[in-house]
Chains A and B, each alone.
Chain A
């Protein structure tokens, strides 16, 4: 069984990166924390480390699986959709062009297809490499590349109408 000291060490090193990672998937702070706690509990309980090559990718993959399970359990999709609507309604004429642009962009990002959004935000937020993203999400590097392309294309198309105001700004 994994020693407690080792566990604490791993926890200190990976807690925040794992939470950020899980947060991209869940879009919910509590769910992200729960998913990450479960990673360490399972690690300790099941002694799953025995046949793991890379601790790091094991932790991230496990965080991803827990996050997806929690999402399924809670079926929070409805909640996020309502968030999204709120964001749209929250328009204000007083806002500067760039602020409006950023809001539209945030809305456009959250309306990307899920895998596409997750890949885009992971690259964006954590500065992970394609290789890391592929291994943590258990998809191919080629898929990561595709999804990034799709994300950029969709975002650019969605933001086309606001382009001129902002670029002049």
Chain B
């Protein structure tokens, strides 16, 4: 077959033939002038293809980029550093008097905390309450927290524990959603997909859409999850996700849970994507983990469900037909 001839030629030129095959090929060359011509032309093509231009790669710059990326851990920086202290000092001597004028101007300051991928951070607000901030999230609060302005801004996900200082209230804005709260603990998540959800663990919080309008408020009670969408839609229902706080507690619990729900939780927790194929999708799995490594959980899945696990660079694929 012609294709096979080309394969042999390529392997011959590329030095990939085993000694025995090479000898045999050379013998054939001696007898087959057409093959000989094919080889010569192919070799000519091969030798001339090496002109392929490879650019100079920037090693120095690349390493800097990697280092920057790796050092870009949790960053706490002051935003709006407009605490310009404009000091005007006028010194003059008139008739033996010394006159000093000092003007100090100061504007609002915020503290912004950005948490990078793979990092989490817990902060204590000036009033004693605590906030846990998830990866890829940003929280902003007024530096002068004692004032009336007790509004914090959240992008991403955070858990608020306001039970440390029950008399202290807080206004949280995330996307379009506003929450007023005190003496409660809750998780707010805003994935930037025009939907903010809040799961209340203790107490209750009030949610508003766009503005603080008492006639249009949603009270989210303990154990419930409220969803606030940008199109003025708000609703609440009992929270059905046992792992909504896994990012903070490190605890993953699966109770008779279908495999596709398990992989959803793992995907969220470990930040890897999963694909599940075959009938195993609905196989049930039960287990509880504390700060467990993904590999160990996958091993457990393998033992409990007849699944084959393929790991590619950025995806984990589960395949199987039987539980």
Contact = CB atoms under 8 A, between A and B. Distances in A.
Interface size class of A (residues with CB under 8 A): 35 or more
Nearest to B10: A148
A166 B111 CA distance: 71
B142 to A, nearest CB: 33
Interface string B20-59: 0000000000000000001001101110111110110111
A32 B50 contact: no
A149 B57 contact: no
B3 interface: yes
A106 B52 CA distance: 7
B313 A65 contact: yes
A145 B11 contact: yes
A152 B10 contact: yes
Contacts of B5: 149
Interface in B43-93: 44-46, 48-52, 54-55, 57-59, 62-63, 65-66, 69-70
B7 A148 contact: yes
Contacts, number: 117
A57 interface: no
Majority secondary structure, B binding face: helix
Contact of A152 (B42, B69, B295, B314): B42
Contacts of A156: 6, 38, 41-42, 45
Interface residues of B, number: 40
A37 B62 contact: yes
B55 A23 contact: yes
A37 B65 contact: yes
Interface string A59-96: 00110111001000000000000000000000000000
Interface in A39-68: 40-41, 44-45, 50-51, 61-62, 64-66
A130 B48 contact: no
A155 interface: yes
B9 interface: yes
Contact of A153 (B3, B49, B70): B3
B52 A129 contact: no
Interface string A92-107: 0000001001100110
B213 interface: no
A125 B70 contact: no
B45 A159 contact: yes
Contact of A45 (B4, B118, B312): B118
B48 A15 contact: no
A114 to B, nearest CB: 16
B105 interface: no
B14 interface: yes
28 contacts: A7-B66, A11-B63, A20-B54, A20-B57, A29-B55, A32-B57, A33-B62, A37-B62, A41-B70, A45-B70, A64-B313, A65-B314, A66-B313, A105-B45, A105-B49, A106-B51, A106-B52, A121-B52, A125-B54, A130-B11, A145-B10, A148-B6, A148-B7, A149-B8, A149-B10, A151-B10, A153-B3, A167-B44
Interface of B: 2-11, 14, 16, 38, 41-42, 44-46, 48-52, 54-55, 57-59, 62-63, 65-66, 69-70, 117-118, 295, 312-314
